[in-house]
Chains A and B, each alone.
Chain A
Amino acid sequence: MSDQRISGESNPPPEPEGMSRRSFLRNSAVFASGLAAVAAGLSPLLDIENFPSLQEFMQKYYKEMTPEEMKKVLERIEREVERQYGIRPHVRDLKPLDGVEYVYCLNLTRCIGCRKCVHACVAENNQSRNPEIQYIRVLQMQNGSFDMEKAVHDYNPEKVPEKGHFYMPVQCQQCKNPPCVKVCPVHATWQEPDGITVIDYNWCIGCRYCEAACPYWARRFNFTQPEIPADRLNPEMDYLSNRPRSKGVMEKCHFCLQRTRAGRYPACLEVCPTGTRKFGNVLDPNSEVSYILKNKRVFIQLKEELGTSPRFFYYFDV
């Protein structure tokens, strides 16, 4: 301490012969603990899983990628999914079909509220199981009213349907005039020519403006790293639809793009035990949906007064 006191009084102090043992020890203690503190302060960074690779970080916007670049990206996604889940997936980038505009029709007379569509969707689209992310919300409505304030979505009786209620599944309505697309500050979500509003999960910054803008509560946010058991992973994937998402990105129903652009029906339709759900190309006059829109009592587009012009129609029999 003595030399320190002297050096404190007289500046500039000439260091006598290098550093004293005492001050060296103290200084190194300060230095070591400072280092430890900095390391500890940075330690939450260790919790970041799936830190983006350089290739992912440098990846271009979906619409700007050339086919060769997209091929590399799809290979990278396949590699990463295999590393994480131990299953080599088949990731594609299906483009919209010419002369196709998808429309969904849902028969409110037939729906019994069994929620099979909800879980078939989760299985098909690799949604997080914990915390749960589900694209479809089945509302139990009071007979004779469309008061959504009185709708219940966590009903769980022994048997459905219950007397005095009807059931209205709500999912992304694939609006013609989508408010979610308008608010996206980075153009990470847009409407495709076949009417599906898609999200580039690598371009989404997670601001959740679209979630706030959607009047149908159709968008879901990954607040944590999604958890999918490897044995429940669906290996048939598409870039814009059901490839595994990461923490901090938005997702939503995309009419099972990986199936419908390959000509197949969406998963929610195929699992429906009552044939409530109908899907097809509205530009084809012979499709089921054209028949329904022409001949059935197509009762509502949900919240049509908002001018979103959904491609999802609710109708009644008789």
Chain B
Amino acid sequence: MKDSVKTTIVLNVLIVVFLALATGFLLKAWGQPAPLQQIPLVDPEFIKTATVRVSYSELVAAKEDLSDFDCYGCHEKGKPPVLRFDDKHMLIIPEEHKDIVMGHGRNNRNNLCTNCHDENNLERFQTRDGRELTFSESPELCGSCHGPTFRDWNAGAHGRTSGYWNRDMGPIVRKDCVSCHNPHSPKFPGRQPAPPPHILHPPTNPAPVAEGEH
């Protein structure tokens, strides 16, 4: 075969190859990354900074309805309410207070309303050392029993903080005990966790991982 024919053939083959490559590149026929799996945006509920409860002082500050705290709307002044107990010495919660869950302390021992509420003035708290406190002074009341926690709370080591760590640049916002704890059942309730991290390319056919392998 003559050289010129060879050249022509090679040139033509190259043309075809290049054109095929060009088409492939332009049509993005290969080498493209696998499409990402759709990840739903996280529910904004999970990034809200609101506390789980609203304390009395916050209700007052927000000028909310305080009728729940108006004890003498129903009770009679100067007549302490009578507590009734069942045969297991458990407090019988009256129908009007059915929303109260008595869960303060382990073993259901702390089920006496008057441990904290003053039976002679229901709109006040009483501590073991004889102090009278208003509804907005709940940290003092809780602290009268939970000393170390109260000490930590005063130092800023217990409870929620927000605002400014640098007091020169702005105020710090502290929350009362009852902004997070239900006083009648103070254990912090469990909650739904925010979604876990998503895998970039989830395996289509996950192979079982053998014991001891990573």
Distance in angstroms between the alpha carbons of A40 and B27 in the assembled complex: 10
A249 to B3, CA, bound (A): 53
Interface flag for A176 (CB, 8 Å): no
Known contacts A37-B21, A270-B162, A274-B180; 8 further A-B pairs (Cβ under 8 A): A4-B4, A41-B21, A43-B25, A118-B194, A118-B197, A159-B192, A264-B165, A265-B162
| A115 at the B interface (CB under 8 A) | yes
**Could you list which residues of chain B lie within 8 angstroms of chain A, going by C-beta atoms?**
2-4, 7-8, 11, 15, 18-19, 21-26, 33, 36, 38-39, 41-42, 46-49, 51-52, 148, 152, 155-166, 168-170, 180, 188, 190-198, 200
Given known A160-B190, A263-B165, A264-B163, contact A40–B157 (CB-CB < 8 A): no
Asked if B191 and A159 sit within 8 Å, CB to CB, the answer is yes
- Known contacts being A114-B191, A159-B191, is A37 close to B19, with CB within 8 Å? yes
Contact partner, A288, options B7, B36, B38, B156, Cβ 8 Å: B156
Interface extent on A, as a size class? 35 or more
Chain A window 279-318, contacts with chain B (Cβ cutoff 8 Å), 1 for yes, 0 for no: 1110000011001100110000000000000000000011
Report the Cα distance A112→B52, complex, angstroms.
14
| Contact, CB under 8 Å: A160 / B193 | yes
Nearest CB in chain B to that of A161: its residue: B190
A129 partner residues in chain B, CB cutoff 8 A: 39, 41
> Is A73 interfacial (CB 8 A cutoff)?
no
If the complex has contacts A264-B165, A273-B52, are A156 and B188 also in contact, measured as CB distance less than 8 A? no
- The answer to whether B15 and A29 have CB atoms under 8 Å apart is yes
A–B Cβ pairs within 8 angstroms, 14 of them: A5-B2, A33-B22, A40-B26, A43-B25, A115-B46, A119-B42, A132-B197, A137-B197, A154-B196, A154-B197, A157-B193, A264-B169, A278-B157, A288-B157
* Bound form: Cα–Cα A115–B51 in Å: 15
In the complex, chain A residues whose CB is within 8 Å of the CB of B23 = 40
**Bound complex: CA A270 to CA B174 (Å):** 11
Residue of A nearest to B3 (CB): A8
Kindly provide the distance from the CB of A134 to the nearest chain B CB, expressed in whole angstroms: 6
Is B197 a contact partner of A158 (Cβ separation < 8 A)? Answer: no
In the complex formed, the residue of B with least CB distance to A39 is B22
Which residues of A approach B to under 8 Å, CB–CB?
4-5, 7-8, 29-30, 33-34, 36-37, 39-41, 43-44, 97, 100, 112-116, 118-120, 122-123, 129-132, 134, 137, 153-161, 224, 229, 232, 260, 262-265, 269-275, 278-281, 287-288, 291-292, 295-296, 317-318
Q: Which of A5, A130, A273 contacts B51 (CB 8 A)?
A: A273
Also in contact, A291 and B155, with CB within 8 A (given A8-B2, A8-B3)? yes
Query: With A129-B39, A159-B191, A273-B180 in contact, is A33–B19 under 8 Å at CB?
Result: yes
Of A137, A155, A275, the contact of B160 (CB 8 Å cutoff): A275
Q: Is the CB of A263 within 8 A of B164?
A: yes
Q: How far is the CA of A159 from the CA of B23 in the complex (A)?
A: 54
Q: Report B194 CB to chain A, min CB distance, Å.
A: 4
Residues of A within 8 A of B36 (CB): 130-131, 224
